[in-house]
Amino acid sequence: MKKSILLVSHSQMITDGLKEMIEQMGKSENVVLFSLGGTSDGELGSDPTKIVDAVNEATDSDIFFVFADLGSAVLSAELAYDLLEPELQEKYVLVDAPLVEGAFAAGITASVSDDPDHIVNEAKQAAQKGWN
């Protein structure tokens, strides 16, 4: 199963760094990461068309796990969903988890598992440090 992880943030530097970290820790030919931070002109912000373009580019992906950091990045990810063709919407999973911890856990888990529920659950639990 081919899995794509879409990293959406207001900062390209954040998503580039996170992409690099996940790629170094969880090497897998079945997981593709997309750094979708910032606007299309390189400024801070988010851009739903970058997300749509990434999904349309990854035509061989069976599922897209989408992680976003702040309010308008989440809105961009939701708007991107609305702009996708119905067959791609079925593969598009908005994951309610922290961008860094959640996407990292999803990336590592996706490198060894094809179970979407397992991948999402690991992402959602990733921020629980257990500090007292």
Catalytic position from the list 3, 7, 10, 104 = 10
Residue 67's φ and ψ, nearest 5 degrees, are -120, 135
Residue 58's φ and ψ, nearest 5 degrees, are -95, 60
Contact (CB, 8 A) for 14 and 93: no
- 118 tagged catalytic: no
Q: How far apart are CA 45 and CA 17, in angstroms?
A: 17
Q: Which residues are catalytic?
A: 10
